[in-house]
């Protein structure tokens, strides 16, 4: 049975789509991977259209509404991993994506508004009895904000991952080319962070 990672967050601007693309592309050389874009902004669809033919192959699908469940079942049957980019709000499509997930990954920037917005996604995952994890994303390189927010989340008993993703231009540069940072700059700090996150996710899923 395929692993399904649903990247979800009801607040926009958290780097949800970039994270979904990078996770899928990093897994593609070693696994059969599908990407499912159900975000109405369709940024992931644009990314896929830019993806070079020489890059590691991904199956891509762009559906919404009543077709989500059937399409997810089809992709799961033919792939090892399915990564879903869900809408930036809690609606029917987001609920279906979370219901079908092995793991719900919730990116949050180290700021109170992102933390507050994540509460709704955590509640929805709990209601659907799905495992969820928070990851600090777009973390500034300087200052103590990361440590402060991380300590607060752990104090509140939130499922925070150890791996963090920095606010690095490499992600935006790679995304603009239809690629992942592990493909454009595999020895960079950004690529190392992404691989550390992926390792932790796979260990968590088991």
For residue 81, is pLDDT > 90? yes
Cα distance between residue 51 and residue 131, in whole Å: 31
For range 44-72, the mean pLDDT? 94
Number of structural domains found in the chain: 1
pLDDT band at residue 90, thresholds of 50, 70 and 90?
confident
The parent domain of residue 188 ranges over 3-205
Mean pLDDT of the chain: 93
pLDDT band at 29 (very low <50, low <70, confident <90, very high): very high
| Comparison of pLDDT for 173 and 90, the residue scoring more | 173
Cβ atoms of 198 and 204 within 8 Å: the answer is no
**5-14, 66-75, 98-107, 157-166: least confidently modelled range:** 5-14
pLDDT digits (tens, 9 = 90+) for 131-189: 999 999 999 877 677 788 888 888 888 999 999 999 999 999 999 999 999 999 999 99
CATH number (domain holding residue 41): 3.40.50.300
51-to-25, 70, 177 alpha-carbon distances in Å: 10, 26, 7
- pTM recorded for the entire structure: 0.95
pLDDT of amino acid 1: 77
């Amino acid at each position: 049975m395929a692993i399904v990672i649903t990247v979800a967050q009801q607040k926009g601007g958290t780097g949800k789509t970039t994270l979904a693309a990078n996770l899928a592309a990093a897994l593609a050389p070693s696994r059969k991977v599908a990407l499912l874009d159900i975000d109405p902004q369709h940024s992931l669809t644009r990314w896929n259209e830019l993806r070079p033919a020489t890059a590691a192959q991904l199956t891509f699908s762009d559906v919404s509404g009543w077709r989500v469940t059937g399409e997810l079942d089809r992709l799961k049957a033919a792939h090892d991993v399915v990564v879903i980019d869900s809408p930036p709000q809690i609606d029917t499509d987001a609920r279906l994506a979370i219901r079908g997930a092995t793991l719900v990954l919730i990116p949050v920037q180290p700021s109170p508004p992102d933390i507050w917005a994540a509460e709704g996604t955590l509640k929805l995952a709990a209601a659907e009895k799905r495992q969820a994890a928070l990851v600090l994303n777009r973390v500034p390189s300087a200052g103590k904000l990361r440590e402060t927010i991380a300590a607060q989340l752990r104090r509140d008993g939130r499922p925070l991952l150890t791996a963090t993703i920095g606010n690095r231009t490499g992600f935006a540069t790679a995304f603009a080319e239809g690629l992942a940072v592990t493909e454009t700059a595999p020895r960079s700090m950004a690529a190392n962070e992404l691989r550390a996150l992926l390792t932790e996710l796979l260990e968590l899923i088991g």
